[in-house]
């Protein structure tokens, strides 16, 4: 089951990346320097964005379940639960598009805004997972790339808050958000590959 869940995470992450890259090529009218990827939901290709976001949410939940058997510490399990919560709220953000700039607030827009705050969940989730050694790991084993990606995500999340808040006037919030997503999908991919490798070497029940 671990192998299947890791494969699901890999596939859904890959489709997310492909869909977002395609949206950058299509004539959406979204300025990637200023506007976050959520604004693609307001274009004629909003369905593609919705699918991409739902799939990346599924990826996070599938990976959490894949890692559950090998993460034994309480802190690590809390991290996995936070990753599941991130996945669920990400799916909500995909199902409920944001409001267009200047438009009257709608329920969909409010749900999207609240769900979009889940970037605050992801950094602690990844750090708790990475700082918790997996079952069977050697004490002096070098830290994997996912460990450093988790710290990079924390930095990206802080920058995301700063450049979409106090320093919004610099108009690079969209670029910073894409940095956040880049680190996110890299972590998901490498962590899924780790789960696959671990399952191949030492299959779990």
Question: Which residue do the tokens 């460990």 mark?
Answer: 147
Q: Hey, is 135 helix, strand or coil?
A: coil
CA-CA-CA-CA torsion sign (159, 18, 89, 151): negative
Rounded to whole angstroms, how far apart are CA atoms 161 and 115?
A: 15
**In angstroms, rounded to a whole number, what is the distance separating the alpha carbons of residues 193 and 190?**
5
Report residue 134 as tokens: 């997996």
What is the pLDDT tens value at each position of the chain, 205 positions in all?
889 999 999 999 999 999 999 999 999 999 999 999 999 999 999 999 999 999 999 999 999 999 999 887 899 999 999 999 999 999 999 999 999 888 899 999 999 999 989 988 999 999 999 998 655 555 566 788 999 999 999 999 999 999 988 998 998 999 999 999 999 999 999 999 999 887 665 543 3
Residue 75 · residue 18 · CB < 8 Å: no
Structural domain including 43 reads 2-201
**Angle at which helices 46-67 and 2-25 pack, to 10 degrees?**
160
Q: Are 144 and 190 in contact (CB under 8 A)?
A: yes
Domains in the chain: how many in total?
A: 1
Q: Which pLDDT value is given to residue 204?
A: 37
pLDDT for position 92: 95
Q: CB-based contacts of 63: which residues, under 8 Å, 6+ apart?
A: 5, 6, 9, 83, 188, 191, 192, 195
What pLDDT, on a 0 to 100 scale, did the predictor assign at position 94?
93
Of the candidates 93, 154, 168, 167, the residue with the CA atom closest to the CA atom of residue 121 = 154
């Amino acid at each position: 089951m671990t192998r299947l869940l890791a494969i699901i995470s890999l596939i859904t992450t890959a489709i997310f990346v492909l869909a977002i890259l395609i949206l950058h090529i299509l004539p959406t009218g979204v300025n990637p320097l200023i506007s976050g990827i959520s604004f693609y939901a307001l274009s004629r290709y909003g369905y593609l964005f919705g699918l991409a976001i739902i799939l990346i949410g599924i990826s996070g939940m599938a990976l959490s379940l894949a890692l559950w058997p090998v993460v034994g510490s309480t802190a690590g399990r809390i991290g996995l639960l936070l990753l599941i919560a991130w996945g669920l709220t990400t799916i909500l953000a995909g199902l409920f598009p944001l409001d267009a700039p200047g438009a009257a607030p709608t329920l969909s827009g409010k749900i999207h805004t609240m769900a979009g705050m889940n970037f605050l969940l992801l950094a602690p989730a990844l750090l708790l997972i990475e700082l918790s050694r997996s079952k069977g790991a050697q004490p002096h084993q070098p830290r994997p790339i996912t460990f450093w990606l988790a710290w990079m995500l924390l930095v990206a999340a802080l920058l995301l808050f700063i450049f979409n808040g106090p320093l919004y006037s610099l108009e690079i919030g969209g670029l910073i958000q894409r940095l956040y997503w880049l680190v996110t999908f890299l972590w998901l991919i490498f962590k899924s590959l780790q789960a696959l490798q671990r399952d191949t070497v030492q299959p779990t029940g």
